[in-house]
Amino acid sequence: MHKASHHRPLYPNKWYEEERSMLTMDKIQEVRFRFFFKGEKISQISSDMDLDWKTVRKYVDKADFNDRLVKPALERHFFPKLDPFKATIDQWLECDKNAPRKQRHTARRVFNRLKEEFSEFSVSYRTVASYYAFKRREVFSGAKKGFLPLEHRPGEAQVDFGAADFYENGRRISGKYLEVSFPYSNKGYLQLFYGENMECLLEGLDSIFRHIGGVPDELWFDNTKTIVTKVIRGGKRRTTERFERFAQHYRIHAVFMNPGEGHEKGNVENKVGYHRRNFLVPIPQFQSLADFNQKLLYLCNRDAEREHYRHNETIQDRFVKDLKHCHKLPEIFFDLSGSRSVTTNNWGKFTLHNGMHEYSVSPKYANTGVHLKMTSSFIIVLDENLREIVRHRRLYGDTKQQSMDWFPYLRQLSIRPRALKYSGIYELMPPDMKQFIGGLSNAETGKVLKVLAELTDRTGFDSALYTVREALGYGAADAESLRNLYRRIYADVPELPPMSIDAQIPEVGQMQSNLGDYDACLMKGGVANA
């Protein structure tokens, strides 16, 4: 028989000693029989059975033979040197639950804090890191949280936004799409937008409701800042007045998820990914966002013809039950647009989105209060009598941007060309336009500005600017050259005078129809006998 010492590792440790001291029940029974019934000494038993005397003593003295329970992970990886500090580490990690992810303890930070706050601390970083890993797993994930499957009743819907790029008229846009899913049937609808705000939310919901012909009784939301202004103790939410008006108008009961419990509306989150993969890959390209959104509704209807993933029926079959639990659309139309009042600056412009997005009005409305009507696509500027002054494509994104409608500025300045270079508008003009105007007299400047206003009104400022660039290439420097060049470039058909008829052309009288002739033809063809 080999000696136990022959099997020892090169570097013995506590784990080995503990493992080595574990005996089978047969061995334990023999040890205790020889000691208690045969009266043999521990040294003799140790020698005869090739056991360490400490092991023999252990099982002689053992009084508890209950099944050994599996020890907790932290007890198995006991880290005895950390015993005086474990409570402190545990407390720090528990507090981390309420801290932002980037402001939680790392293993290195735990180690440094222990060195700073405890003069007697002398444990290695490796030991601290090992304990930290086990404890952090227990605090933040440990035994992973299990979720009970949620039962969803018909007529319940969930709402969320997803992100997707698209091309509209060749321009790439980083947009968002509103997703509304019905967990009972697993049917979903999406609508694509330029961004994510209250107008996008309300327009998307209204579009989907009108498409299905009803309104879900209950809508589940997360705690998006678009709707929720404050999470109140006890599970209540303070929402924006505008959303509350919308919800009351459509008779919607809004349900908000518990913070950090995304699984509660897992159906819509899955649908966000499913629709992106199936309807928005590859990156869609189209001319009109409104037309494409109609196409998306059609695609969602077609997708519902597939079989439900759990039930032996199609998604559409189950959706019929969803619709039965929806109520009618309101008879009175709800204004989905937002509104606010702003004051323009010295140049007749104003800003939105914390000053990031700048919009023009007109020099006529400099330092004046105007009203805004805001949709998901447009910012419409109204005067004090709520008459439209100008409208802009709505800007999105967190970068500084400008939307400039040049027509009112060019028209106004054409009347007062002397004020151009002192108005501030001159500095805003593109370099080519400044170059063209720079050497002109005041009289000719007025004429050029008037032509540019006409061209802008016809086909937009870009076409007017292109005409200016072409004129510079030809060395032209007057208003009439601009007008003629524009006509040549854009095939503008000149207005022709009315054409007079030569007196020698005979007058042709009006032909009179005779219904009797038609009846005769029909009789001849046998129609009357049919």
Same domain, 387 and 462: no
| CA pair distance 238, 468, nearest whole angstrom | 55
Q: Has residue 510 been placed in a domain?
A: no
Which CATH number do you get for residue 292? Answer: 3.30.420.10
Peptide bond into 408 cis (omega under 30): no
Same domain, 446 and 318: no
- Going by C-alpha positions, the residue among 293, 305, 327 that lies closest to residue 186 is 305
Same domain, 47 and 80: no
Domain span at residue 201?
A: 156-324
Count of domains in the chain?
5
Same domain, 211 and 247: yes
Q: Has residue 219 been placed in a domain?
A: yes
List residues bridging with 327 in a β-sheet: 215
Question: Kind and range of the H or E element at 317?
Answer: helix 315-324
Q: Has residue 307 been placed in a domain?
A: yes
Same domain, 315 and 266: yes
Same domain, 317 and 250: yes
Per the structure block, which two tokens stand in for 171? 């321009």
Same domain, 401 and 414: no
Mind listing the pLDDT tens digit of every residue in the chain (530 residues)?
444 444 444 334 443 444 445 678 778 878 888 887 788 999 999 999 999 999 999 888 886 666 554 445 444 456 778 888 988 998 888 888 877 677 788 889 899 999 999 988 999 998 898 888 888 887 776 444 444 456 678 989 999 999 999 999 999 999 999 999 999 999 999 999 999 999 999 999 999 999 999 999 889 888 878 888 887 766 678 888 888 888 889 988 888 876 655 556 678 888 998 899 889 988 999 999 999 999 999 999 999 999 988 888 999 999 999 999 999 999 999 999 999 999 999 888 999 999 999 999 988 898 999 999 999 999 999 999 999 999 999 999 999 998 988 878 888 778 877 777 776 777 778 888 888 887 788 888 888 888 888 888 888 888 888 888 888 888 887 888 888 888 888 865 555 667 776 777 777 767 677 777 777 777 777 665 54
Same domain, 247 and 202: yes
Q: Has residue 514 been placed in a domain?
A: no
Per the structure block, which two tokens stand in for 244? 């509350």
Query: Which of residues 383, 405, 427 is at a domain's end?
Result: 405
Same domain, 397 and 416: no
Per the structure block, which two tokens stand in for 148? 């009970």
Same domain, 175 and 217: yes
Question: Kind and range of the H or E element at 393?
Answer: strand 388-393
Q: Has residue 479 been placed in a domain?
A: yes
Q: Has residue 146 been placed in a domain?
A: no
Same domain, 192 and 273: yes
Q: Has residue 284 been placed in a domain?
A: yes
Q: Is the pTM of this model over 0.75?
A: no
Same domain, 415 and 393: no
Q: Give the SS3 label for residue 369.
A: strand
